[in-house]
Amino acid sequence: MTAPVAIRRLNAADTDFARHLDHLLSWESVSDDGVNQRVLEIIQAVRERGDAALVEYTQRFDGLEVASMADLILPRERLELALTRISAEQRQALEVAAERVRSYHEKQKQDSWRYTEADGTVLGQKVTPLDRAGLYVPGGKASYPSSVLMNAIPAKVAGVPEVVMVVPTPRGEINELVLAAAAIAGVDRVFTIGGAQAVAALAYGTESVPPVDKIVGPGNIYVATAKRHVFGKVGIDMIAGPSEILVVCDGQTDPDWIAMDLFSQAEHDEDAQSILVSPDADFLDRVAESIAKLLPTMERAEIIRTSLEGRGALIQVADMAQAIIVANRIAPEHLELSVADPEAWLPEIRHAGAIFMGRYTAEALGDYVAGPNHVLPTSGTARFSSPLGVYDFQKRSSIIFCSPDGASELGKSASVLARGESLTAHARSAEYRIKP
């Protein structure tokens, strides 16, 4: 007989609720000293020895017998071949998802703008795509073609001329769906390398791997640590923690649906977090029963169990207003408003990576085909961060053009402020342009 799932129950009315919630949400993504030191060594080796270091690390970590860097480069033809190797159903699903992701992100594009003041001074902003973006994709059996679409398509919509993908192929395992997704998304170059060494190659470049301007995409602790270290040399999307879902439910949704929605994040890994908040105590009981009933039917049952028992929770609140307060405190990656009138509560939501409205909008739809990006802020960072988007692959440059009259008038104020800061050259530079 399957053991019951010991998922914690919390009540917002308890005096120590805040402390228990803080403990539940705590997550440290900082690497230990051993991982940190190893990553620094790998980055240094790639900087010093380039392709030779990549070949050596690929042999050691991925168990591949490769003679040279040429064995780690996939031509565009290989991506096109993958399109013929996947099933017609898989190809159609990828193409549907890609079209929806592209259509949504087209609406995020920003245009340059400018305006002219009365004296002829022109001010504005020039929007320019990055020259080259790097996409890290986990390899082997745990591969995510959806992440290829979500990372590469916004870059292409932004106008990035070249998207470079790195994907490890441990023990020679090549995921055809990932390569097919790369073909559909318009990825330009693919290298079968992974780990911290791939991040270092993208950041600093080697004889074969071109340096990029920004690195995006998920990875393990070594990849995340490497991204942290190369930030500054290149841009990065984020240092992501485990996946999260918070479901706010009024108690009227089918409890089996809610249990499966919680499972959908818990099955990612043991550290993923699934939380349900409801004012209906009986409904929380019914969801707990659904969890116990459905768990034995899941392929990843043990991963789900560990996740739910370690980081999951069923939280009772006084009413829907308090549920929203708790949701904003958690600032979840994924927020499901599984309620009768989600529009009524939407204005109250201040912190969430993505908001899924209504009983029928499963978070899983957002992972694959809804259109908005599934690369979202985790670990409470939705308080100050946004989903990955076209804007992450564009730069903004200020435009300033002063007419003679404008330079003269602005120069008077600039001179006063510069002298107030004891920056005489600044002041005199502005004063030269002041009309007598």
User: Do 81 and 216 lie in a common domain?
Assistant: yes
369: its two tokens: 């085909």
413: its two tokens: 């104020």
User: Do 245 and 299 lie in a common domain?
Assistant: yes
Annotation: binding site for Zn(2+)? 265, 268, 367, 426
Annotation: binding site? 136, 197, 220, 243, 265, 268, 334, 367, 421, 426
Burial class (CB in 10 A: 0-12, 13-18, 19+), 219: buried
In this predicted structure, what is the pLDDT of residue 29?
59
User: Do 49 and 198 lie in a common domain?
Assistant: yes
User: Do 296 and 162 lie in a common domain?
Assistant: no
Q: Which structural domain, as residue segments, surrounds residue 421? A: 402-432
Q: Which of 105, 229, 334, 374 is catalytic?
A: 334
Asked if 33 contacts 191 with a C-beta cutoff of 8 angstroms, the reply is no
Helix crossing, 51-62 with 33-49: angle to 10°?
A: 140
Q: How does pLDDT run across 90-112, given as a tens digit for each residue?
A: 999 999 999 999 999 999 999 99
333 is catalytic: yes
Annotation: binding site for substrate? 243, 265, 268, 334, 367, 421, 426
Q: Which residues pair with 410 in a beta bridge?
A: none
Q: C-alpha angle with apex 320: 319 to 322, nearest 5 degrees? A: 70
Contacting residues for 376 by C-beta, under 8 A, at least 6 apart: 333, 334, 353, 354, 382, 387, 388
Q: Would you give the distance in Å from CA 436 to the centre of its chain?
A: 56
Q: How does pLDDT run across 398-421, given as a tens digit for each residue?
A: 999 999 999 999 999 999 999 999
Place of tokens 């911290």: 196
User: Do 66 and 140 lie in a common domain?
Assistant: yes
Give mean pLDDT, residues 253-260: 98
Answer whether residue 246 is part of any domain. yes
Asked if 258 contacts 347 with a C-beta cutoff of 8 angstroms, the reply is no
Domain edge (last residue) among 236, 251, 276: 236
Q: Would you give the distance in Å from CA 238 to the centre of its chain?
A: 6
User: Do 106 and 248 lie in a common domain?
Assistant: no
User: Do 98 and 216 lie in a common domain?
Assistant: yes
User: Do 211 and 85 lie in a common domain?
Assistant: yes
Task: Tell me the H-state helices in 86-235.
Answer: 88-106, 145-158, 176-185, 195-204, 221-230
Query: What is the length of the chain?
Result: 436
User: Do 310 and 366 lie in a common domain?
Assistant: yes
Q: How does pLDDT run across 319-354, given as a tens digit for each residue?
A: 999 999 999 999 999 999 999 999 999 999 999 999
Annotation: binding site for NAD(+)? 136, 197, 220
Long-range contacts of 73-76 (CB under 8 A, 24+ apart): 73/189, 73/190, 73/191, 73/192, 73/208, 74/179, 74/190, 74/191, 74/192, 76/183, 76/188
Domain count, the chain: 3
Q: Which of 176, 244, 333, 409 is catalytic?
A: 333
Asked if residue 113 has pLDDT above 60, the reply is: yes
Domain edge (last residue) among 370, 390, 416: 370
Q: Taken in order 26, 333, 227, 201, is the CA torsion positive or negative? A: positive
Distance CA 428, CA 411 (A): 9
- Banded pLDDT at 358 (limits 50, 70, 90): very high
Distance CA 239, CA 233 (A): 16
DSSP string, 215-267: EE----HHHHHHHHHHBTTBEES----S-EEEEEE-S-S-HHHHHHHHHHHHT
Asked if residue 153 has pLDDT above 60, the reply is: yes
